[in-house]
Copies of this chain bind each other. A is one copy, B any other.
């Protein structure tokens, strides 16, 4: 090693003083699945639970990075410290530099009240689901007030991010085949706040009208949250203030009704499960080679056993 590894305790202390490098180092430990993670997470426990985690998702082309940037500007104007976690599930190998770099180049790169980090969904199992909640925990403990978790809306990533967030903002834009776009990945179910970005373009009002109509189609019990549909022009910052207001209102509603607590329990459940599953896979040898599961797999592949019988044996082991 080219530098001495710093004790988790010292790193946490420095992160809590807002030192970006210490925060970054802790997130690297999370990404690497470091052996000291257990100690890190235990050390962070007393300091978490204050940050508001806002998920930000939408199809490629709706202007996610610009919107993130506009929201950061608005939040900074309200004197809040902001974390941005850009999760790129399409980068299993690289670590997802593309998404993060775009943000890093932005105006906020040198603001000490903003911490920006991109993460790839490196491994398969336990990737996003283990590392993202742990990274959120680091940023939360570091005293950031709002954490924006940005993800490109492909595959199931938007659903995964929504499961992590206290409030989920879904971005759309005019002229992207919006009916299908809106229904496609169940975004109606996951959005707490909808934002039509690029609202200066033709068709913004009709997207808004369609979306509102779809939202009012769903049955909502008394007192349920009714997702607002807002318009923004992220490149100029227009509408960002209304989005932040709506996010605040959603948080207040969620705190009052117990929904915030429910979501945080769910997030903890997903995280616990991901850690447990990762531990099991290590035990089984799925992570490495030449272990219990390989012998069982050979038997199944050769037709001398079936997959359920093999799974039984694995669990009995």
Contact = CB atoms under 8 A, between A and B. Distances in A.
A102 interface: no
A261 B101 CA distance: 41
Given A124-B159, A155-B156, A301 B91 contact: no
Interface string A257-272: 0000100111111011
A82 interface: no
A112 interface: no
Nearest to A44: B306
A38 B305 CA distance: 12
Contacts of A279: 311, 315
Contacts of A264: 301
Contacts of A121: 155-156
A185 B95 CA distance: 10
B272 A293 contact: yes
A221 interface: no
Q: Chain A binding site: helix, strand, loop or mixed by DSSP?
A: helix
B46 A275 contact: no
A83 to B, nearest CB: 19
Given A90-B154, A314-B276, A301 B268 contact: yes
Q: How many copies does the complex hold?
A: 2
Contacts of A315: 276, 279-280
Given A124-B159, A306-B41, A273 B293 contact: yes
A124 B305 CA distance: 27
A266 B301 CA distance: 9
Interface in A137-176: 154-157, 159-160
B297 A265 contact: yes
Contacts of A38: 308
A184 B180 CA distance: 25
A272 B41 contact: no
Interface of A: 37-38, 41-42, 44-46, 48-49, 89-94, 98, 121, 124-125, 127, 133-134, 154-157, 159-160, 180, 183-186, 189, 261, 264-269, 271-273, 275-277, 279-281, 284, 286, 293-294, 296-298, 300-301, 303, 305-311, 314-315
